[in-house]
Structure 1
Amino acid sequence: MAATTPQRIIAHFDLDAFFVSVERLFNPAYIGVPLIVGGKERGVVSTCSYEARQYGVHSAMPIQQAKRLCPNGIFIGGNRAAYSHYSRMVTQIIADKAPLFEKASIDEFYIDLTGMERFFDPFQWTIDLRQQIINETKLPISFGMSTNKMVAKIATDAAKPNGYLQVPFGMEKEFLAPLAVGKIPGVGKNTQQTLESIGIKTIRQIAETPVALLEKVIGKYGVELWHKAHGKHEGIVAPYHEAKSISTERTFEENVLDLDRLMAELVTMTERVGYELRQEDKMAGCIAVKIRYPNFDTNSRQIAVPYTCYDDEIIPIAKELFHQLYKKNQPVRLLGIRLSELTNHAQQTNLFYNTEKKTDLYKAIDDLKNKFGKLAVKRGGGKN
């Protein structure tokens, strides 16, 4: 008799208004007031407190618009180092306990507990893990649990703020039915407006609509959306490994003693890995530099940094690490740089400190590289 596949058990954790919560740890005066964390005058809102949301403020909204909606709000630029620190704290707590987990972003995690019901009650285990995170970090965190990633994530949103919710096997469709179509991850404003134009406003209505009609109205995504409306989703929890990295090395045909040339090469390599990082929509929390000498003596040094994906922030750190390692007046055989501790959704996470100008600049640079090759745009000068 063929073995049956165990029913999946997926938990989704999300730190509530993460940047706001961290700021309130350092300044209790921010508690209970409309707090908006974002970029400078031309930047956008990264996150805001629930008090600010009552005024219509939301993530990715231009700062100037947020100020018009919430003139009495407190606007701050954010503290990347602190956010990175607390993200690592939560990651470590989960890593120490969970059999399999995915770090989806700086403040969001999936845990796969499939099969663990043989050893413990997965729901109670997840409740206990949430409480441990709260006790050790003093941060509010919510979770949802269900049979797949999509429903678990939607359950987390329903559980906020600072709560939890389980959607049992067989109840997925019923749980989703009354919710607005925009609650399904991946349904943007355009898709939502298109669906509403034919009278579809709830997930129940999607599920009751013939697949052929959905496909006619919104294309191939209509089939996937119909399955999602029935509570079906096949996405897996991708194991998180700190060792995952993006790196590049250069072995010189002739040993290099010229420091300016070494600096120029280091800058070029940093731009290369930074570009790859942004193409994968990731951020790095650790930077490492490696130097190998003609006698094959190899030294490397790494440092944890606030999560970033931008060359102008990575290059100075790479140069500093190089000088900490470099043996003066010694020729170099190999030079390398590695970015690790990667987290997803760089664009979303970057909102709290990016100005539109910086975002647009890197997008323009990367677009040129995509069109004309990675070496199409290079930073001028490699000197210190």
Structure 2
Amino acid sequence: MSPNRLIAHFDLDAFFVSVECLSNPSLKGLPLVVGGATDRSVVAACSYEARKYGIQSAMPMRTALRLCPHVTIVPGTRGEYSKYSRIVTEIIAAEAPLFEKASIDEFYIDLSGMERFFKPLEWTLALRQKIIDQTQLPISFGLAANKMIAKIATDAAKPNGWLYIEAGKETDFLDPMKVNKIPGVGDHTYRDLMQIGIETIRELRLSNPDLLTRHLGKYGTDLWNKAHGIHAGQVTPYQEAKSVSTENTFDQDINDSSYLLTELVRMTERVAYELRQDNKMAGCVAVKIRYPDFETTSRQTTIPYTFYDDELIPQAKLLFQQLYRKGKPVRLLGVRLSELTDEARQTNLFQDVNRKADLYKAIDSVKNKFGKGSISKAGGQQGKK
């Protein structure tokens, strides 16, 4: 491991809960969960006070209520989460030489070699304070020689703290911890390791690599390296994902607004389907209209991250109504979804989301089997020619 390598890991603490508390300060200090209140709902996020009762993210809501009957449940406001994530991303993008957005509330920053220009710890502390000042959200960071140690340090620093692990001191930091503190070590692997007498990272580090390979295959060697603080993962530069779009240049100019809206619905359904196939969500919708004289106009709007037709179509229709010159023939109509991301899938743990996800999974299954046009909304069928 290069001694010059230096990675900061930032994580917004209990992000969804923190945003809800900004909107309603009376929620602070309560055992609080974000999610739906139905039997099918799960916990999207929980406060540190709720965690004391054993409540965890992705836990069935009925289990959370059994553990803490007086827990406060709020339904969640996806638009606000998207907004604050964007604000933090913009702050980091303006300051950081190289950063990766790992999720809606988690970032890695590569500061390797930057000690020639500034003191990395002081710079990271200043960035953290800037985020807190501009958002009022708690955020923790870990600073270390690689991504793995930085992430573990962040977890150890929570809530709302920071930790710097100097190069060469990785094993001192890791040794006392349980092996499930290593990212990627789930319950199953943890149980397997305990069965061969390994519970702490120190015990893992001092174990025989051949023993680990026999029990865990190649993953055993990987874990042995991680127990020594070795991790070669690179910070992947953040960039806005490419958009998905579709356009239709009509054989004849169209001045029937109802037909144009029908076509708009069909096109939006199509690009939304493509998003779901790629496991991406969109944070921006745009509509383009071109008239017979080739005058082209477009308008876009930012939205809470989604890949659902019923959330994208109304936005596309609204943009069309704002753009369209009534009675004027249209040569081309287009829809584009941009600001694509997969990190916001974390926000998909709210009320009725499971039911909606199941519905769209069924719809997409039919489309995959019989073709994209095999099923569509009524608004996308009438007037089709």
Distance 1:252 1:221, change over 3 A: farther
Q: Does 1:32 align with 2:29?
A: yes
After TM superposition, give the deviation of residue 298 of structure 1 in Å: 1.6
Distance 1:254 1:173, change over 3 A: farther
Whether the aligned pair in 1 keeps the contact of 2:257 and 2:326 (CA below 8 Å) is no
Distance 1:280 1:115, change over 3 A: farther
Which AA in structure 1 matches 2:149? Answer: V
Which AA in structure 2 matches 1:28? Answer: P
Q: Does 1:8 align with 2:36?
A: no
Which AA in structure 1 matches 2:343? Answer: H
Whether the aligned pair in 1 keeps the contact of 2:37 and 2:73 (CA below 8 Å) is no
Runs of 4+ in 1 over 6 A off after TM superposition: none
User: Match for residue 92 of structure 2?
Assistant: 94
State the SS of the aligned residue for 1:56.
coil
Whether the aligned pair in 2 keeps the contact of 1:309 and 1:346 (CA below 8 Å) is no
User: Match for residue 17 of structure 2?
Assistant: 20
User: Match for residue 335 of structure 1?
Assistant: 333
Give matches, 1:207-226, under 5 Å.
207-226=205-224
Distance 1:11 1:299, change over 3 A: same
User: Match for residue 130 of structure 1?
Assistant: 128
Q: Does 1:177 align with 2:183?
A: no
Whether the aligned pair in 1 keeps the contact of 2:19 and 2:137 (CA below 8 Å) is yes
Whether the aligned pair in 1 keeps the contact of 2:14 and 2:45 (CA below 8 Å) is yes
Whether the aligned pair in 1 keeps the contact of 2:36 and 2:73 (CA below 8 Å) is no
After TM superposition, give the deviation of residue 110 of structure 1 in Å: 1.4
After TM superposition, give the deviation of residue 57 of structure 1 in Å: 0.6
User: Match for residue 159 of structure 2?
Assistant: 161
Q: Aligned equivalents of 1:276 and 1:219: distance in 2?
A: 37
State the SS of the aligned residue for 2:160.
coil
User: Match for residue 204 of structure 1?
Assistant: 202
Distance 1:261 1:313, change over 3 A: same
Distance 1:175 1:6, change over 3 A: closer
C-alpha offsets along residues 240-288 of structure 1, whole Å, 9 cap, x if unaligned?
A: 234x332122233514514444334433332333334334443322221
Which AA in structure 2 matches 1:123? Answer: L
User: Match for residue 187 of structure 2?
Assistant: 189
Whether the aligned pair in 2 keeps the contact of 1:245 and 1:339 (CA below 8 Å) is no
Structure 1: where are the runs of 5+ without partners? none
Alignment: residue pair count: 380
Structure 2: where are the runs of 5+ without partners? none
Whether the aligned pair in 2 keeps the contact of 1:260 and 1:383 (CA below 8 Å) is no
Distance 1:353 1:92, change over 3 A: farther
C-alpha offsets along residues 123-175 of structure 1, whole Å, 9 cap, x if unaligned?
A: 11000111111112111110111122222111111100000011122222332
Distance 1:6 1:195, change over 3 A: closer
Q: Aligned equivalents of 1:225 and 1:110: distance in 2?
A: 21
The 10-residue stretch of structure 1 (290-299 or 64-73) with the greater mean CA deviation from structure 2:
290-299
1:232 counterpart (230, 233, 238): 230
User: Match for residue 106 of structure 2?
Assistant: 108
User: Match for residue 302 of structure 1?
Assistant: 300
2:265 counterpart (252, 262, 267): 267
Whether the aligned pair in 2 keeps the contact of 1:283 and 1:342 (CA below 8 Å) is yes
The 10-residue stretch of structure 1 (83-92 or 267-276) with the greater mean CA deviation from structure 2:
267-276
After TM superposition, give the deviation of residue 23 of structure 1 in Å: 1.6
The 10-residue stretch of structure 1 (177-186 or 364-373) with the greater mean CA deviation from structure 2:
364-373
After TM superposition, give the deviation of residue 111 of structure 1 in Å: 1.2
C-alpha offsets along residues 36-89 of structure 1, whole Å, 9 cap, x if unaligned?
A: 111231211111111100111110011111111111111110122222222222
Q: Aligned equivalents of 2:311 and 2:317: distance in 1?
A: 11
Q: Aligned equivalents of 1:349 and 1:251: distance in 2?
A: 33
Whether the aligned pair in 1 keeps the contact of 2:45 and 2:56 (CA below 8 Å) is yes
The 10-residue stretch of structure 1 (364-373 or 313-322) with the greater mean CA deviation from structure 2:
364-373
User: Match for residue 143 of structure 2?
Assistant: 145
After TM superposition, give the deviation of residue 300 of structure 1 in Å: 1.2
The 10-residue stretch of structure 1 (156-165 or 29-38) with the greater mean CA deviation from structure 2:
29-38
Percent same amino acid among aligned pairs?
61
Q: Aligned equivalents of 1:119 and 1:369: distance in 2?
A: 55
After TM superposition, give the deviation of residue 102 of structure 1 in Å: 1.8
State the SS of the aligned residue for 1:363.
helix
After TM superposition, give the deviation of residue 118 of structure 1 in Å: 0.5
Whether the aligned pair in 2 keeps the contact of 1:46 and 1:59 (CA below 8 Å) is yes
